[in-house]
Amino acid sequence: MRRPGEGTTLKRLHHNRHQLKQVKGLFGKLVVAAILLIAPTLYFVYFFNTSSSSSSDFPSEIDVQKLWDTADSGGWIPSSAPRSDWPPPPNESNGYLRVRCNGGLNQQRTAICNAVLAARIMNATLVLPELDANSYWHDDSGFQGIYDVDHFIKSLQHDIQIVKSIPEIKKNGKTKKIKAFQLRPPRDAPIHWYTTVALEKMKEHGAIYLTPFSHRLAEEIDNPEYQRLRCRVNYHALIFKPHIMELSHKIVDKLRSQGHFMSIHLRFEMDMLSFAGCFDIFSPEEQKILKKYRGENFAEKKLIYSERRAIGKCPLTPEEVGLILRAMGFNSSTRIYLAAGELFGGERFMNPFRSIFPLLENHTSVDPTTDLKSNAQGLIGSAVDYMVCLLSDIFMPTYDGPSNFANNLLGHRLYLGFRTAIRPDRKGLAPVFIDREKGRVDGFEEAVRLVMMRTSFGGPHKRVSPESFYTNSWPECFCQKLGVNPAHRCRNDMM
């Protein structure tokens, strides 16, 4: 039996415990809120503490003069030649493979590499890839208007058979083309899909048509020879037409006649800002435009600017790019080539950048030819930008997330001899810039340098997801003259 007043006491204890839980919950929420508020400052202070304890690992200054040279290769040289048994394609193939490559120039470039590999996997004859230029660029140049077709076919003759179109056949006294069976490949489809589903339809119909064909073959394949084939396509077979190459070299020669120059892919454009959900720095009218574009082109998702900004998901503003370069030690005499579409927000965003680095050029300002003026935003303009960025002394992408242009260029420059790349760590820099916006500017440039000194400047480095194979084909497409590992050692016929 309960003693008198025991029930009341138990009720009080229960009530007190409930109040204590509420207090703990409120305290926990306050702690989380406090951490979120002071995180940028803590991060900022952390940099100075770690810099003093690890100064032997990271120098306090960046040697800008060294950045104008290529990065340290570690003895690695590019090589995509086969290193094991790689027979030429049989005289008889299993059928014809047509593909329609959608997206921009560099997304299409990736698709072409995948199409060649798919043809090899299925022992298919590849029909010259179709470029879906109209929907994206409003440009109908097509493969034959951009790439050197004869060079493409000749370069890959030991890998696959290629024809410019599906040939006509005679049947029942009539001449007609083989009708390709249309298939939609799964995104990042495994090799198994091509050797079963696709191959079965090819043998049944004589030809298949894969559309759309963007990112329709898995990038990470446990077969180095297949990966090396991708490199042979990307870095050897895909050459722009002679007039595009001549125009690109002409621009590079003009820029280099006055010394070193840097190229920057300034991805401060409507599509990328809409994708990232970074609206708050724009006027109400501009935000309306961005949100409308996002609603029409991307999946619905709640994006909070402050959260996106804090984890480096927003494209760098032109001013932030200028501040990073100045903190690294570049000065106003640095010549910069800008590869970019139409910058969103106009001159008010460009002016702070131009005030720091006034020597800015683009392909139309360096060479205002009629050809480029009429195709500045089309495939030819993109191809020229690609070549100038490829050949520049330093390349800096400002947003290398879902950016095929930047990612492919990083991989091509790596393959071209570890050419210097400046890749801002947006996540690491975000708290530094947030502190600056709040007025805490002491030590700003040192904090930027500390972040940047922990980045790769274009040397060999391990590929870690989500980094793409097309961004970093090391070590599959490289070898060492004096390699310790026999699998990585260059042979005489590979050099």
Confidence category of residue 6, pLDDT binned at 50, 70, 90: very low
Confidence category of residue 138, pLDDT binned at 50, 70, 90: low
Q: What is the mean pLDDT of residues 2-27?
A: 47
Q: Which segment of 4-13, 72-81, 358-367 scores lowest on mean pLDDT? A: 4-13
Q: What Å distances lie between residue 105 and 25, 207, 415, 420, CA to CA?
A: 53, 26, 19, 23
Sorted by sequence, the CB contacts under 8 Å of residue 68 that are 6+ apart come out as 260, 393, 394, 420
Give the pLDDT of residue 157: 97
Q: What is the mean pLDDT of residues 292-306?
A: 90
Confidence category of residue 175, pLDDT binned at 50, 70, 90: confident
Task: Report the C-alpha gap between 65 and 84 in whole angstroms.
Answer: 41
For residue 167, which phi and psi values (nearest 5 degrees)? Answer: -70, 160
Give the pLDDT of residue 51: 39
Task: Report the C-alpha gap between 336 and 322 in whole angstroms.
Answer: 11
Beta-carbon-side half-sphere exposure of residue 344 (alpha carbons within 13 Å): 23
Q: What is the mean pLDDT of residues 198-208?
A: 97
Q: What is the mean pLDDT of residues 159-172?
A: 88
Sorted by sequence, the CB contacts under 8 Å of residue 328 that are 6+ apart come out as 62, 64, 422, 448, 449, 452
Q: Which segment of 33-37, 129-133, 311-315 scores lowest on mean pLDDT? A: 33-37
**Percent of the chain, pLDDT > 90?**
65
Which of 169, 170, 186 has the alpha carbon at shortest distance from 96? 169
**Percent of the chain, pLDDT > 70?**
82
Give the pLDDT of residue 366: 83
Give the pLDDT of residue 134: 54
Give the pLDDT of residue 22: 53
Q: Which segment of 3-17, 42-56, 86-100, 328-342 scores lowest on mean pLDDT? A: 42-56
Sorted by sequence, the CB contacts under 8 Å of residue 270 that are 6+ apart come out as 289, 290, 293, 342, 344
Query: By the 8 A CB rule, do 318 and 266 touch?
Result: yes
Which of 350, 341, 445 has the alpha carbon at shortest distance from 399? 341
| pLDDT per position as a tens digit, 454-471 | 888 999 999 988 899 999
User: SS3 of 30, please?
Assistant: helix
Query: By the 8 A CB rule, do 112 and 101 touch?
Result: yes
* Statement: residue 343 has pLDDT above 80: yes
Write out the H or E segment, with its range, that includes residue 130: strand 130-131
The first and second tokens of residue 445, run together, are 């440039």
* Statement: residue 50 has pLDDT above 80: no
Confidence category of residue 20, pLDDT binned at 50, 70, 90: very low
Amino acid at 231: C
Give the pLDDT of residue 248: 93
Give the pLDDT of residue 42: 42
Give the pLDDT of residue 58: 46
Handedness of CA 450, 456, 458, 459 (dihedral sign): positive
Higher pLDDT, 20 or 353: 353
Task: Report the C-alpha gap between 433 and 309 in whole angstroms.
Answer: 10
Give the pLDDT of residue 78: 96
State the chain's mean pLDDT as an integer.
Answer: 85
User: Beta strands 76-78 and 478-480: pairing type?
Assistant: antiparallel
Confidence category of residue 142, pLDDT binned at 50, 70, 90: confident
* Statement: residue 29 has pLDDT above 60: no
Q: Which segment of 138-147, 358-367, 450-459 scores lowest on mean pLDDT? A: 138-147
| pLDDT per position as a tens digit, 392-421 | 999 999 986 667 899 999 999 999 999 999
Q: Which segment of 281-290, 425-434, 485-494 scores lowest on mean pLDDT? A: 485-494
Which of 65, 204, 210, 75 has the alpha carbon at shortest distance from 129? 210
* Statement: residue 494 has pLDDT above 70: no
Query: By the 8 A CB rule, do 239 and 151 touch?
Result: yes
Give the pLDDT of residue 486: 82
* Statement: residue 373 has pLDDT above 60: no
Task: State pTM to two decimals.
Answer: 0.84
Confidence category of residue 377, pLDDT binned at 50, 70, 90: low
Handedness of CA 399, 227, 234, 71 (dihedral sign): positive
Q: What Å distances lie between residue 159 and 87, 215, 281, CA to CA?
A: 8, 21, 51
Confidence category of residue 375, pLDDT binned at 50, 70, 90: low
Relative orientation angle of helices 105-122 and 379-391, to the nearest 10 degrees: 90
Task: Report the C-alpha gap between 104 and 101 in whole angstroms.
Answer: 9
Query: By the 8 A CB rule, do 396 and 422 touch?
Result: yes
Task: Report the C-alpha gap between 154 and 74 in whole angstroms.
Answer: 33
| pLDDT per position as a tens digit, 222-275 | 999 999 999 999 999 999 999 999 999 999 999 999 999 999 999 899 989 999
The first and second tokens of residue 427, run together, are 């996540």
